[in-house]
A and B are shown apart, each in its own frame.
Chain A
């Protein structure tokens, strides 16, 4: 079974609108961390936002927020007021310190395209 599932291989969003990128995960760890990274066409992986399994509040970083629903094992990324520069691949990843050590397990990614 996939540990991290991103069901949207590609998405379009109109500039200035909000968009939600889906991520579901599977773990038996009680303590785990969820991360989102952005990969623009230049190739580098940019850390966006983190959510810990014990965090009671949804994480927010500027225009990025994480809709964390623990019971449903989902950690969707919400980008508000999309900008042309948001066009990129977005990866959801999980760290399970007890099950898998320090490594990150990644989903397949979602390619977001922002239309002007």
Chain B
């Protein structure tokens, strides 16, 4: 069974440009999460989808970030316009729906974004 995949693996863009990151979750996983690790800091939650609905977007830093999950399958995270502080590693994770604390999130390999 395929794991969580992310595309691209790396992206280098100039300040002010737009970048779109894609995440394909594990088949059958309704939960999809985006996290980000900025250089030297902890991995931070961005948002959570359940199927196509945004369950929690409390971690989104500002309105330059737009996440979608049309059809409840893959998700995209668009940064427009990108700023220098957006550089970091963007992780996607997916899980099956669970009501207890054991829900295990499986992570993708991440997209390394560098804004110059």
Q: What residues of chain A have their CB less than 8 Å away from a CB belonging to chain B?
A: 4, 31-33, 35, 37, 42-47, 50, 52-53, 91, 93, 95-97, 101-109
In which size bucket is the chain B interface?
20 to 34
B105 located at the interface, meaning its Cβ lies under 8 Å from any Cβ of chain A in the complex: yes
Of the A-B pairs whose beta carbons lie under 8 Å apart in the complex, a sample of 11, sorted by A's number, is A33-B101, A43-B89, A43-B109, A44-B110, A97-B99, A97-B100, A101-B56, A102-B56, A103-B45, A103-B48, A105-B45
A106, closest chain B residue (CB): B43
The reply to whether the CB of B55 lies closer than 8 angstroms to some CB of chain A is yes
Q: Which residues of A contact B100 (CB under 8 A)?
A: 31, 33, 52, 97
In the complex, the answer to whether A106 meets B107 with C-beta atoms within 8 Å is: no
User: Which residues on the A side are within 8 Å of B28 (C-beta)?
Assistant: none
A96 to B108, CA, bound (A): 22
Which residues of B line the A interface, CB within 8 A?
Answer: 31, 33, 35, 41-45, 48, 55-56, 59, 89, 91, 93, 95, 99-110, 112
Main secondary structure of the interface of B (DSSP, over half): strand
CB-defined contacts of A45 to chain B, threshold 8 Å = 91, 93, 107-108, 110
Q: What B residues does A43 contact at CB under 8 A?
A: 89, 109-110, 112
Residue in contact with A95 in the complex, picked from B59, B101, B110, CB distance below 8 Å: B101
Partner of B102 from the list A4, A33, A105 (CB cut-off 8 Å) is A33
Further pairs besides A97-B101, A103-B48: 12, Cβ < 8 Å:
A4-B42, A32-B101, A33-B102, A35-B104, A44-B108, A47-B105, A97-B99, A101-B55, A102-B55, A102-B56, A104-B105, A108-B42
